[in-house]
Structure 1
Amino acid sequence: MAEFDGQPGREAPPACDVSAEQAQSDEVDLHQGLSSLAHVVADARSVEDLLSDVASFAVQAIPGVDGAGVTLVEFVSGSPRAHAWAATPGFVRDIEILQYNKLQEGPCITCMQTRRPAVSGSIGSDDRWPRLRGSVARMGVHSVLALPMLIGDKVIGAINSYAYERDVFAEHAVRVGEQFAAPAAVSIYNAQLLATARESTERMRRALESRTVIDQAIGIVRSRSGIAAEDAFERLTKISQAENVKLHVVAERLVDEAVRKAQLRQGSGPQNAADVDGRD
């Protein structure tokens, strides 16, 4: 039996309402959604692209969904704060903006705080979100299923499914949704780790390149002035501060100008070049 927090005072549709044929069809849709998810992970998509894909796959995989959103969060003083999300179609984005940016309440926030799915069959009369419910109901949206995405004990976000009809999401939909949310959470988390690793590698590459060109510039200044490496570095630093440009930019400029002068001496380069250190 799926465990979830239903709407207080409203009886959810019975689990036996789902026919064998419908259950089999939902199983096929879930399998297709999970297969699609596996393919985009294999393609190493960006986190933003993956969120959009997961939102689309949730519409396909979870029965009764008219629109879905996926949210990534960070917790500030114990409260979830969205830092990335994707939604399909547009009305879901409007609901997400209300929850995170304006009201700080809603099924998505609740499910992440409780770490349990939150279900509402008539959000317009749901007392759990008194400021949100009227706005959502006026959009013509009545049912919601919010599923926390968990990695171990850590909440990384939520998948939020919405439907225009009332009482769409019962135990069957929750169970199917949880089967989709678990691997989706792993996929998104791994995509985040991969993106972080790529950013770290790129920063390291840029740092190494900068260090190399700075060392080259120091060597050029030393060869021209006969000063120590520390003094050459200080000279480059002063130029950087005086011109308010980064040190590696000063170094690159000096190295490029040294190369042009060398080409000039060989008769194959530009005819005028000035050294960064002021020497002819």
Structure 2
Amino acid sequence: MAQQLPLDELSTVIARIQGLLLTEEKVTTAVRLLAQAAKESVPGTIGAGVSLLDARGRRTSSGYTDSIVRQADSTQYECGEGPCLAAWAAEEPVLVKDLANESRWPEWRKAVAGLPITSVVSAPLMAGRETLGALKLYAATPGVYDETSVRLLQLFAAPAATLLAHIQASEAPQRMTEGLQASLYSRDVVNRACGALMERFGIPHEAALQRLIKLARDENAALQHVSERVLAGTLPAGS
């Protein structure tokens, strides 16, 4: 069972990404710092990496926290397969709970058999309709990551992708675009609303998030709007 990222840590990560855009000028520096932030934010992770890819799936820039990530990623590029490339190509997250029970990417699995990698989760970095690359986490023991880890990585990847797209467009950004501000704000609101529901009902983060999603579906409203109502205390008492 994967551990869950504390809500205050997720808020810190979002704030850190926001600060990066205001202080960092180079894509290479940004991807390295994003990788480090991801590693520190998801419990059980032994290494994290950010890969930016071109339209043919070729690496254009990368940042990693540990040599094991560099080895695992380089092998993916050499083999032309692996969870990072799969997340990029399919534009959806890839979860590997136990590499020993995995049947996908036979060449890559054979190549990394000597590395202490057992669990993997990777999410595409999507800015609008463009997929810039992928963010990935590696763990040494099975079962470190689950569906909750996927959702947490997606919360991290979305503003990170917007940041990277912004930096790529301008090597010396001076201010955040309105789109990035909205992206950061929306995820922070959802995060804080989950915390409010956890405290109100004594439920774990996963249950709180599912409750928010159900409320949004029932009301045919955006998740951000429902989260704002939770924080404002304007939802029915049983919600």
TM-score (norm 1): 0.59
Structure 2, unmatched stretches of 5+, are 174-239
Which aligned pairs between 1:98-109 and structure 2 lie closer than 5 A?
Answer: 98-100=75-77, 102-109=78-85
Q: Which residue does the alignment assign to 2:62?
A: 85
Partner of 2:72: 95
Q: Which residues in structure 2 correspond to 1:36-55 (within 5 Å)?
A: 36-55=16-35
Deviation at 1:168, TM superposition (A): 1.1
Sequence identity (%)? 28
After superposition, give the CA deviation of every residue in 1:212-234 in whole Å (9 maximum; x if it has no partner). xxxxxxxxxxxxxxxxxxxxxxx
Aligned equivalent of 2:51: 71
The alignment covers a number of residue pairs equal to: 174
- Residue number in structure 2 paired with 1:226: none
Q: 2-side partners of 1:172 and 1:191: how far apart?
A: 29
Query: Which one-letter code corresponds to 2:126 in the other structure?
Result: L
Q: Which residue of 2 aligns with 1:234?
A: none
Shift of 1:65: 1.6
Q: Which has the higher contact order (CA 8 A, sep 6+)?
A: 2
**What is the deviation of 1:151?**
1.2
Q: Which runs of 4+ in 1 moved over 4 A?
A: none
In the alignment, is the contact (CA less than 8 A) between 1:123 and 1:137 conserved in 2? no
Give how far 1:75 is off.
1.2
Which deviates further from its counterpart, 117-126 or 158-167? 117-126
Q: What CA RMSD, in Å, does the superposition of the two structures yield over aligned residues? A: 2.0
Which amino acid counterpart does residue 8 of structure 2 have in structure 1?
Answer: V
Q: How many Å separate the matches in 1 of 2:98 and 2:169?
A: 38
| Structure 1 unmatched ranges of 5 or more | 1-16, 198-280
For residues 153 and 43 of structure 2, the distance between their equivalents in structure 1, rounded to whole angstroms, comes to 8
Does 1:131 pair with 2:107? yes
The aligned counterpart of 1:160 is 136
Q: How does 1:1-280 map to 2 (within 5 A)?
A: 17=1, 23=4, 26-76=6-56, 80-100=57-77, 102-195=78-171
1:169 alignment partner, SS class = coil
Q: State the shift of 1:32 in Å.
A: 1.7
Displacement, 1:153? 1.9
Following superposition, the deviation at residue 155 of structure 1 comes to 0.6
Asked if the contact 1:63–1:173 (Cα under 8 Å) also holds between the matched residues in 2, the reply is: no
TM-score normalised to the size of structure 2? 0.68
Amino acid at match of 2:143: D
SS of 1:187's partner is: helix
Secondary structure in structure 2 of the residue aligned to 1:83: strand
2:89 counterpart SS class: helix
User: Contact between 1:111 and 1:146, CA under 8 Å: does it hold in 2?
Assistant: yes
